Amino acid sequence: MNSEFEKLKGTGLQTVDTEKVTLDFFKMLKKISDKEFINILITSGYIPDLYVADSKEETLFTKLCEALEVDWASRMGFEANAVTQKSSYEDVVIKINNKIIVSDTKSFRLGRSQQAPNVKDFVKPEDYSKWANRHSGQKLGGLVVYPQLHEWTRKSDAHVYCSDKKNPILMLPYHYLAYFLERKDKFNPKSLEKLWDYEKIFPEKADSRNDYWQKINNVILEITGDEKKEFKKFLNLAETKLYEFVEGRLKNLEYQKNIKIKKIEFEISSIPDSELRDKFLKYRQEIETQYIVTFQERIQKFRLTNNKESTTYSKFIDSSFDKS
């Protein structure tokens, strides 16, 4: 993906052709085996931390995560497509037994400031109802696909929202999709629709992370016919791959940090002493007075009138006596 942005240098173009890159990505995925695809899925959904927030790179990355979900569904034998409209629409639509699932494909940075996302950034139940109502025919419900390392440790409103039988929204980490694909020849993939039978699974809403996954995992074992020890073996294998992936990301960040340090050292060593003192003086002046400048800007913006000749109260005095 990064190579596509490298091609832009010197062309005058501002961004890549997202649609073309996505189509090329689908073509690439079709060339790889299920086994290779499973390894990709397990560690999917983690936005590179050095991508600028809301950047073109981040936007393209999220589109390719959606493509991964679509390709997974196709490999499972389901109908699926990514939704091109982005504002207030689901990311992916999947059909199992001709019944519709509206899905939101999540991706997060490993280095985000919180262990888990804000619930409102993870699931909004009212959105799923709105998305589903746009489709005719029978609906199974909603789906949130997300990277495993961003789930809440014990409990969250997300587990409550995603166990509501009135609006079934299933949470599935990417490595669970990988598990289904790895086992697909041992069970009927279309029986996965049972995961949305919330009348049976969640007669009452889940009260914790453990409660949610104990119930979902039991249904998965019923569907796949797998033994608990084999299911846990796959999940532990996924954990090992996730650990190796995180370690790799940390090493890459350390490498990038060292490159930056060496660049700074080289640039500083090339500056004459007198100029260096001037630059350092300016740097300290900016850094150590920035909080004062911030106060000044806020006072001028919020406490004075536009012409800075009176306070904002001056406009209110007359109206406090007479109706305008």
The model's pLDDT over 243-286, given as tens digits with 9 standing for 90+, comes to 999 999 999 999 999 999 999 889 888 889 999 899 999 999 99
Residue range 53-110, pLDDT digits in tens: 888 899 999 999 999 999 999 999 999 999 877 667 889 999 999 999 999 999 999 9
Q: Are residues 68 and 197 in the same domain?
A: yes
The two three-digit tokens of residue 121, written as one number:
């950034």
Residues 6 or more apart whose Cβ sits within 8 Å of residue 81: 70, 92, 93
Q: Quick one: pLDDT at residue 13? A: 39
Q: Are residues 225 and 285 in the same domain?
A: no
Domain count, the chain: 2
Q: Quick one: pLDDT at residue 122? A: 94
Boundaries of domain holding 226 = 5-239
Decide: 100 and 55 in contact? Cβ < 8 Å: no
Q: Are residues 312 and 225 in the same domain?
A: no
Q: Is residue 83 part of a domain?
A: yes
Q: Is residue 151 part of a domain?
A: yes
Decide: 142 and 128 in contact? Cβ < 8 Å: yes
Q: Quick one: pLDDT at residue 268? A: 86
Q: Are residues 71 and 206 in the same domain?
A: yes
Residues 6 or more apart whose Cβ sits within 8 Å of residue 202: 163, 164, 165, 215
Residue 217 identity (one-letter amino acid):
N
Straight-line distance from the first to the last Cα atom of the chain, in angstroms, rounded to the nearest whole number? 60
pLDDT of residue 183 exceeding 90? yes
Q: Quick one: pLDDT at residue 71? A: 97
The two three-digit tokens of residue 55, written as one number:
């950047």
| DSSP-assigned states of every residue in 49-105 | TTSPTT-HHHHHHHHHHHHHHHHHHHHTT-EEEE-S--TTS-SEEEEETTEEEEEEE
Residue 163's CATH number: 3.40.91.70
Q: Is residue 258 part of a domain?
A: no
Residue 74 exposure: Cα atoms within 13 Å on the Cβ side: 15
Higher pLDDT pick, 221 / 312:
221
Distance (Å, whole) CA 70 – CA 145: 11
Return the percentage of the chain with pLDDT > 70, whole number.
94
Final residue of a structural domain among 239, 268, 292? 239
Distance (Å, whole) CA 202 – CA 90: 24
Enumerate the β-bridge partners of residue 99: 96
DSSP at 213: H
Return the percentage of the chain with pLDDT > 90, whole number.
72
pLDDT of residue 221 exceeding 50? yes
Number of Cβ within 10 Å of residue 221's Cβ equals 14
Q: Quick one: pLDDT at residue 324? A: 59
Q: Is residue 36 part of a domain?
A: yes
Q: Are residues 112 and 160 in the same domain?
A: yes
Residues 6 or more apart whose Cβ sits within 8 Å of residue 44: 65, 68, 107, 147, 174
The two three-digit tokens of residue 76, written as one number:
């499972």
Residue range 151-177, pLDDT digits in tens: 998 889 999 999 999 999 999 999 999
Q: Quick one: pLDDT at residue 9? A: 42
Q: Is residue 257 part of a domain?
A: no
Residue range 113-136, pLDDT digits in tens: 888 889 999 999 999 999 998 999
Tell me phi and psi for residue 99, to 5 degrees. -110, 135
DSSP at 304: B
Q: Quick one: pLDDT at residue 86? A: 66
Nearest C-alpha neighbor of 67 from the set 122, 29, 20, 109: 29
Per-residue confidence band for 8, with pLDDT thresholds at 50, 70 and 90? very low
CA distances from 65 to 85, 103, 233 (A): 16, 12, 25
Q: Are residues 181 and 318 in the same domain?
A: no
